[in-house]
Structure 1
Amino acid sequence: MRIAGQGRLPPRFCLFLLASILVSFIAASAAPSPLYGIYQAQWHFSPVTTTVVFAVYAVAVLGSLLTLGKLSDHVGRRPVLLVATAVQMASLVIFVLANGVPALLAARIVQGIATGAGIGALGAAMLDISRARGTLANSIAPGIGTGVGALLSALLVRYLPAPTRLVYAVLLVVLLVQAVGIVLMPETVTPTGRARRSLRPDVRLPRAVRGPVLVVAPVVFAVWALAGFFGALGPALVRSLMNSSIVIGGLVLFVFAVFGSVAILVLRNAAAGTIMITGITALVLGMIITLLSIMAHSVVGFFVGLAFGGVGFGGGFQGSIKTVMPLVEAHERASVLSLLYVVCYVGFGLPTVIAGFLVVYAGGLPRTASEYSVAVILLALVALFGLRRATATAPRADA
């Protein structure tokens, strides 16, 4: 670990703190998912509006990643994390006070800006502390955050008062405590002072990682498109398959995240290519099972497909990070990681918006979910073909 400034917290605790902040950021983004049904009933909007609200977050993240993603490489991790955490807390306040769709959109936009600024700095700081543990934490935290945020939200809605406010208040308190930790932790990179230049959108990659990024980009897109599918349509789809409580809907993202996290832990010592091929294979199997389950109106089958999909997400995302990030210099980590997240959130948001329009204008939720499943299967097969080809053409170690 290269310490650029002294702090009161040891490196191992700093790594845990940074991972927990990333979990909180992603949990805050997932928390509204179980609430969309309540918002829709209160404010009388269509499924298209639901997916637009879902997608403006992804658009805001993309804009923030492209402009603010590299900032921590130049001004330091701590200043960026402190501001991003404060903005994230502001978005939660807007959620608490929201009284209609415009406020909901505003909250998601502010939340996206905070997340885009924060995730690059968080991921880079964890890699500054330890490449091996930082790679593992970067891989596992998004899944844990997604699952915890959705299930916590569903449980609070089901069993406690103020269903559209309490989860945001809880997350506010958690982020406040974590902000104190950021103040106490040491800086992990030496600032360069070229902050203004870093704000210009720039999609250039270091030469050493251009080839690997081209290989992993289809994998990253596919697995995050799957996450978007289950995040936007999963809870509503479960409710259409069975007359279930909001907690069952919240379990969709939780099961997805749990199996993704288990896959990351089990595969953590495997080669990056092996991890990605395992992940994409599991993704294809999961979507086939999901497709058949939707056709058969089987909730059990749907959750089995969900579990395989989680393995696909965990393996695909972990293998991609493990392929690219060890090749990156310290002062380029936030930049490269942010560009990877750009691919993630394009996959996360764009197909979801298309799905929202199809739900309303092209046959309803079950048909759209079936078509989305087929599209993700085809996308995953393209990614798998690309991986196989890259593996076959890669120079052998004994050549």
Structure 2
Amino acid sequence: MTTTGTTAPRTGRTPVRAMWLAAWPVTAIFVLSNTATPLYVLWQNRIGFSKGMLTVIFAGYIVGLLGSLLVCGVVSDRSGRRSVLLPALGLALLACLIFATATGVVALLVARVCTGVAVGAAVSAGMAAVTDVAGPQRKSQAALLASCAMVFGAGAGPLLSGIVSETLPAPTVTVFVVEAVLLVTAAVAVLRLPLDRPVPAATGAWVRVPRVPAGRGRELALGIAVFAPGITATSFVLSLGPALLAGLLGVTSRIPAGAMAFGMFLTATAVQFAVRRLRRPLVMIASTLATTASTATLIAAVRTETVAWLVAAALLAGAGQGLGQLGGLSLLNTTVPVDRLAEANAALNTGGYLPAGLLPVIAGYLGDATGLATATTIFGAVVAAAAVLGALAVAASRATVAQV
């Protein structure tokens, strides 16, 4: 008998193997999320647009993602993970086609919006699918694997793009051909997943602001308080990092920009494995400390025009996002019923991606008006303040966080 939101691995596939299989679509979609990052300098030179417009193009992804989160979590919980993931992979393939043939800002915006919609499906349905196939005894492992699949994919994209675009012909085409192949393999993985169609138990509108069950709002708020500053810091590095390297620091090769982004997300992946045995309050507070340190080194980088400081800022930002993401996901995984888990994941990411989309855009246009150094300083101060408030919130709720 199928129960709401649960799955049982079919014969021949263990829960551990199924978990890894379920994580691959999340990774493949997140590879696309940042594949374009090192290529913006090429498009900027070819098409011509300001740093402010660059951050708007980047934020088109956030718009698509947030719109997706209004729908995908609820639909996934009621209709099944596969019914959300397969269309999302199709949309990701369409984004690859648009990127590969883009000749103007509008095309780049449309491709970014499509990418955001696909990512919204991945962070809601895809990450919930990892938990589904893991079973109730492996919830902590599932949260760790799903979170690492997300950040590793996000980092692999720019590294792949940087290397391919520097070493192979037709850089803005070849990169997305390679990514399209990855997405096709992810679609095959989704078709093979041992996912049963759930029996819907939830009621209410299908399109709504994602939320958690009554009584779990505090856990959601704490998760957002540590996740949002970290992902906002990494979003800034992704959107304006190549411009900082090229404009302030004189680095024009696309490989360093891709490698820096990869290092940032590799750090986000590695740090989650390193702290997996620590108590949750320590993990969450460590996230805020790493994010605060990241903003300080970012300001130092632009003030001293030092590449080493910028790389350090990126790595610390990755640690902040990884730790905050793990803390928030594990809170929800252990407190939210499985038939509401995709929507809860969507709610966490909505709270994180809103500032991650808005603040870098503001910083981009402020950089056009006042200079990138001034804009980065203001951005860093705002994110650091948010991180400190997150740390205080976790400390005040330490007993609650540790109990769940």
Say whether the 8 Å CA contact 1:359–1:365 is kept in structure 2. Answer: yes
Query: Which residue is equivalent to 2:376?
Result: 369
Q: Is the 8 A contact 1:35 1:164 kept in 2?
A: yes
Aligned-pair Cα RMSD in Å: 2.1
Q: Distance in 2 between matches of 1:187 and 1:8?
A: 14
1:91 corresponds to: 95
**Structure 2: which 5+ runs fail to align?**
none
C-alpha separation between the residues in 2 aligned to 1:18 and 1:395? 28
1:163 deviation in Å? 0.8
Aligned to 2:235: 228
Work out whether 1:263 is the aligned partner of 2:267: no
Aligned to 2:121: 117
Query: In the alignment, is residue 273 of structure 1 matched against residue 269 of structure 2?
Result: no
CA distance in 2, matches of 1:28, 1:396: 35
Structure-2 change in CA distance of 1:235 and 1:332 (3 Å): same
> How has the CA–CA distance of structure 1 residues 236 and 70 changed in structure 2, closer, same or farther, with 3 Å as cutoff?
same
Number of the residue aligned with 2:179: 171
Q: Measured at CA, do residues 396 and 356 of structure 1 come closer, stay the same or move farther in structure 2, by a change above 3 Å?
A: closer
Q: Which of 45, 66, 72 lines up with 2:70 in the alignment?
A: 66
Partners of 1:8 and 1:185 within 8 A in 2: no
* Per-residue deviation, 1:283: 1.6
Which residue of structure 2 aligns with residue 136 of structure 1? Answer: 144
Which whole-Å CA distance do the structure 2 matches of 1:371 and 1:29 have between them? 26
Any gaps of 5 or more consecutive residues in structure 1? none
1:215 Cα shift? 1.9
Correspondence 1:12 to 2:16: yes
Task: State the SS of the aligned residue for 1:308.
Answer: helix
Q: How many residues align?
A: 394
Q: Which one of 37, 44, 50 corresponds to residue 46 of structure 1?
A: 50
Q: Find the counterpart in structure 2 of residue 254 from structure 1.
A: 262
The Cα shift of 1:240 comes to 2.7
When normalised by structure 2's length, the TM-score is: 0.92
Match of 1:215 in 2: 222
Are residues 92 and 396 of structure 1, via their aligned partners in 2, closer, same or farther at CA, if it must alter by over 3 Å?
closer
Structure 1 residues 324 and 40 mapped into 2: Cα distance closer, same or farther (>3 Å)?
Answer: same
Q: 2:291 touches 2:320 (CA, 8 Å); kept in 1?
A: yes
Distance in 2 (alpha carbons) for counterparts of 1:284 and 1:192: 42
1:104 counterpart residue number:
108
Alignment partner of 1:28 is 2:32: yes
Calculate percent identity across the aligned residue pairs: 28
**Which secondary structure does the structure 2 equivalent of 1:63 belong to?**
helix
Q: Distance in 2 between matches of 1:2 and 1:236?
A: 46
Given the superposition, is the C-alpha separation of residues 125 and 250 from structure 1 closer, same or farther in structure 2, using an over 3 Å criterion? same
Q: Give the TM-score taking structure 1 as reference length.
A: 0.93
Q: Which residue of 1 aligns with 2:393?
A: 386
Q: Residues 396 and 91 from structure 1, CA distance in 2 versus in 1: closer, same or farther, beyond 3 angstroms?
A: closer
Does structure 2 conserve the Cα–Cα contact (< 8 Å) formed by 1:75 and 1:193? Answer: no
Alignment of 1:144-155 (within 5 A): 144-155=152-163
CA distance in 1, matches of 2:164, 2:402: 53
